[in-house]
Chain A
Amino acid sequence: MQVPAFFEYQRATSVEHVVALLERFGPEARIVAGGHSLIPMMKLRLAQPELLVDVNDLHELSGVSVVDGQLRIGALTRHAELLASAVAGEHFPILHDAERVIADPVVRNRGTVGGSVCQADPSEDLSGVFTALRTVAVVRGPDGERTVPMREFFRGPYETAVAPAEILVELRVPLRPGAGSAYVKVDRRAGDWAVAAAGAVVSLGPGRVVTEVGIGLTAVGDADFTAVEAEDLLRGEVADEDAFAAAGAAASAHCRPVADQRGPVDYKRHLAGELTVRALRAAAARAHDGTT
């Protein structure tokens, strides 16, 4: 029978209230937003928090907007809101590509962007997306606010840079005019976690030379969800099939997948390369090189 163990519950009225509760209860307190990971884990008793801090009333934490050259996504923004956000899709189609393949509409209606990245599941789609986008996470705690680059955010499976008494409040994606972006994923069935997935953001200069590139990888064992070697190979090269293939080969070679029922290591390694190529190809096709 799946029923959670005993826990206390508080509905937070402000971010300060959240931080105060987290400070008082220590690491045995957990924030609940959409709850789509935490509640099942509690029902299976894999998680037995003493206190749940419900942040769903903190409407100031949700919303998508452009401020000071950044796309700002509140941590409490539901997946469905991000998917429906025209401004997000206009600047970064990768966000809509990814949201379309995250779980199902029921989960997307409730699950939050901040909850997804804070869960730090090795197969989380948004983790690879935000590392590719060189996003900055804004975290608030007892000592005020600080920022953490997404590429330093993940500390291993289910571990992040967010300290026990801190809360992720916002994700800030620097706008990159002309850049193209895309996300591709292979799953066994709609709504399943990724077997592997890749996200790419490509900025092109004259002659379709790659001026900057971000490549995120999901579910293939990269602790920071990033294919740095592939990025380094591609930067400064002409964005063509040969360059993409070389980047794909680098991504494939440097990832560290583990075998599970979604697939063996050789297949996941192959996908890391194949999907990197496909994501780069699609991102480059969406990019403007500034000459037209």
Chain B
Amino acid sequence: MTGTVGGCAGPGFGSVPRKEDGRFVRGRGRFVDDIALPGMLHGAVLRSPYAHARIVSVDTTAAESHPKVRAVITGETLAARDMAWMPTFSHDVAAVLATDKVRYQGQEVAFVVAEDRYAARDALALIEVEYEPLAPVVDARRSLDADAPVIRDDLDGRTGPDGRGNHVFDWETGDEAATGVQFARAAHVSACDLVYPRVHPAPLETCGTVADYDRISGKLTVHATAQAPHAHRMLYSRIAGIPEHHIRIIAPDIGGGFGNKVGMYPGYLCAVVGSIMTGAPVKWVEDRSENLMSTSFARDFHMHGEIAADADGRILAIRVSVLADHGAFNATAQPSKFPAGFFGVFTGSYDIAAAHCRVTGVYTNKAPGGVAYACSFRVTEAVYLVERLVDVLARDTGRDPAELRMANLLTPDRFPFRSATGWEYDSGDYPRALRTALEMADYPALRAEQKERRAAYERTGAGTLTGIGMSVFTEAVGAGPRRLMDIMGLGMADGAELRVHPTGTAVLRLSCMSQGQGHETTFAQIVSHELGLPIDAVQVVQGDTDNTPFGLGTYGSRSTPVSGAAASVAASKVREQARQVAAVLLEVAADDLRWDVGTGTADGGNFAVAGVPGISVTLREIALAAHGGLDLPDGVDGQLTASTVYNPPNLTFPFGAYVCVVDVDPGTGEVDVRRFVAVDDCGVRINPMIVEGQIHGGLADGVGMALMELVAFDDDGNHLSASFMDYLLPTAMECPAWELAATVTPSPHHPLGAKGVGESATVGSPPAVVNAVLDAINVRHADMPLTPAHVWRALQGRPIRPDIAIR
């Protein structure tokens, strides 16, 4: 790994080892499936074998007579409690257990609670369900056909105009007329159809819960894989009718989320009902196939993009239309005023005069979801679109893709920049990032080598072809300003509470929840940075709604931009309170005190009297005094504690420039990712090692999506990717030694200048890999995933359609 890291000046910041790793490397993490409560029962879900079928009858008699079965829950059971349907994050409803129809393969039909998990699974086979199969809608492009079967007949004709039964929404952004003007005056227009296929977040820990309802107190405790514990508490309250203050959500260690654990799943709710019915705790943990078949997928965007340029290669405008496959229920988790997420940032990193986009969402007989898998609310799709279109434009006009990009990038003097679709980019230096990446890759030498290799191949018919691909991406993360952004009416602001104990150690309580991101370390570093305490002296509490303030959770790279800012503000408040206490201790005016953050010792920072050497008091001394008998002035509370709710003024806009080098074997279609240079700018880096770890993971994600990851279906709606034998995740064997570098352009509005980085590499890397492969084989466009078969077929001029079964 090469490169520089920056922005980590001052105590607290820097590449310190992660506090949580001590337990993880010893196998002592505590995940949902590690929880065993006294008398705990086990749940299992019966799922639909059909993509679309009417339920004629459900007979549970035999299952109920199994000696170890304690309860069998069906849609009818839930309907009696008014719980057969639940609200989704996107103004729709979704079935908890099917009552009328099943609408995708793997949909939940019944739930068995038994004394052990073997008996629960055995009893599933004893439930007899009679189905009347219906024609499924599998191809999103056929969903609005007049003769397409109507999936959501429960909505009773409310789904769309003109009788379009499977219509979910139309949404547009940008200025259509102004875009038309630019296209009319363009010297060149390139158009391209692109599919960002359905993929899955596939966290290694699947979703699960232990629900524990106390019949005496009426209190419900839910241990669950929840990226957003506080939002879940409200949902449980609304759906199950239990008062919110009687519900406690505890998210223990979480083994990866990537957006998959934001949503509310039927299994969670059935475990709650099972616990209410039996009076015992009920554990339900899904298996790999259940996770891949039924939980939140990502992407599934069918895009048509057009890009207009003048004769000098200046990009004038972009026009896009999208068909978005939302599955059987519109359950995408995104700010509710943004039905296509933040796809509106599709103008990318370029200075583009006009842009317009229209998105149509449709229902199909597939699992619900849509926004998940580290995508920053569909920024992934937006970046893929623009970075592919720019490459297509370069090819069509005979320009070098690096030069074309450099000529059109926004320059640093344009920030803050308002894009043609209305987004205000906070800060950036895109040319520097691209220049750095090209220099690290030695771009001219790569182009020369590519030429040589192609000549050799054409001469001998043997060897490999080299391709060089790049992307310059702009992210939009840290949702968000609550006047614009909410989920189910909950504004996306985050609380934080900080308390310094009498002995000078501290506890920070967060609303967000780590799934592997290292919050226990990064957030302790933020407090250390503000108060001068050692990182180890700061305990970070997260994931327990009884012990943390309210907030919207961890996804969309929002933890550092929102909760990180909240932690910083809370610590500043504590510091200012400490100043007041110090003023009393030193018998001087608070304004005469100067803060010195110190060197991270147990004493913490100190306040010294300006102009009087040697008179100072440490934070540790202040903490003790603040808890003691000191007579404090009016308006200054005793103890040392502060809380805040941080409402971000804007999103943050991390960015980066990536260069990927691949070698393709034209005889087999195999792709070898030889090099990957990633220059990331996420503003100030609190823990550069953690940042780089996030980037490593995201780059691997990108290789995976570009080359192998895919959820495919056959004509009957059968899920063809329901195991890790079929849904391929990349391994170390497919990943090169990442070559990383950083530039640091602080966010002007974040208290620490940080921007969030959890999804940058996942967003930025797929187009770099795809551009590299297509550059190698000299093909204008082929859709992901570029498996060997697909690369070979693209070379034959007959690309494969990725979203349906290969024939």
A interface residues, Cβ below 8 angstroms from B: 1-3, 5-6, 44, 104, 186, 188-193, 195, 259-264, 266-268, 270-271, 274-275, 278
Beyond A261-B712, A261-B805, 17 additional pairs, beta carbon < 8 A: A1-B42, A3-B117, A6-B122, A104-B731, A189-B733, A190-B731, A190-B733, A191-B731, A259-B807, A260-B806, A261-B721, A263-B789, A263-B806, A268-B789, A270-B792, A274-B668, A278-B667
Complex CA gap A268/B731 in Å reads 24
Whether the Cβ atoms of A261 and B726 lie closer than 8 Å is yes
B732 nearest CB neighbor, chain A only? A190
A sample of 16 inter-chain contacts (CB < 8 A) reads A1-B45, A1-B285, A104-B731, A188-B787, A189-B707, A189-B708, A189-B728, A189-B734, A190-B731, A261-B720, A264-B800, A264-B807, A267-B789, A267-B792, A267-B793, A268-B789
At the interface, yes or no: B359 with Cβ under 8 Å from chain A? no
Complex CA gap A267/B44 in Å reads 41
Chain B residues with CB under 8 Å of A5's CB are 122
Whether the Cβ atoms of A188 and B708 lie closer than 8 Å is yes
Instruction: Known contacts A259-B806, A260-B806; decide if A3 and B121 are in contact (CB<8 Å).
Output: yes
Whether the Cβ atoms of A188 and B788 lie closer than 8 Å is yes
At the interface, yes or no: B288 with Cβ under 8 Å from chain A? yes
Complex CA gap A268/B720 in Å reads 19
From B285, B730, B789, A262 is in contact (CB under 8 Å) with B789
B284 nearest CB neighbor, chain A only? A1
At the interface, yes or no: B426 with Cβ under 8 Å from chain A? no
A156 to chain B, nearest CB (A): 21
- The DSSP consensus for interface residues of chain A is loop
B807 to chain A, nearest CB (A): 5
The interface size of chain B toward A, counting residues with CB under 8 Å, comes to 40
Nearest 3 Cβ contacts at the A-B interface: A263-B789, A190-B733, A2-B287
Complex CA gap A271/B122 in Å reads 43
Chain B residues with CB under 8 Å of A271's CB are 668
Chain A residues with CB under 8 Å of B122's CB are 5-6
B731 nearest CB neighbor, chain A only? A190
Whether the Cβ atoms of A186 and B725 lie closer than 8 Å is no
Complex CA gap A235/B733 in Å reads 38
Interface residues in B81-112 by Cβ distance below 8 A to A read none
A138 to chain B, nearest CB (A): 31
At the interface, yes or no: B670 with Cβ under 8 Å from chain A? yes
A27 to chain B, nearest CB (A): 21
Contact with A along B279-319 (1 / 0, CB 8 A): 00000011111100000000000000000000000000000
Contact with A along B401-432 (1 / 0, CB 8 A): 00000000000000000000000000000000
At the interface, yes or no: B669 with Cβ under 8 Å from chain A? yes
A265 nearest CB neighbor, chain B only? B807
Chain B residues with CB under 8 Å of A275's CB are 668
Chain B residues with CB under 8 Å of A195's CB are 788-789
Contact with A along B128-170 (1 / 0, CB 8 A): 0000000000000000000000000000000000000000000
Complex CA gap A104/B121 in Å reads 30
A5 nearest CB neighbor, chain B only? B122
> Which of B45, B789, B807 has the largest count of A CB atoms less than 10 A from its CB?
B789
Chain B residues with CB under 8 Å of A188's CB are 707-708, 728, 787-788
From B289, B669, B725, B807, A193 is in contact (CB under 8 Å) with B725
Interface residues in B58-93 by Cβ distance below 8 A to A read none
At the interface, yes or no: B118 with Cβ under 8 Å from chain A? yes
Interface residues in B771-794 by Cβ distance below 8 A to A read 787-789, 792-793
Chain B residues with CB under 8 Å of A2's CB are 287-289
From B285, B289, B730, B807, A189 is in contact (CB under 8 Å) with B730
Chain B residues with CB under 8 Å of A266's CB are 793
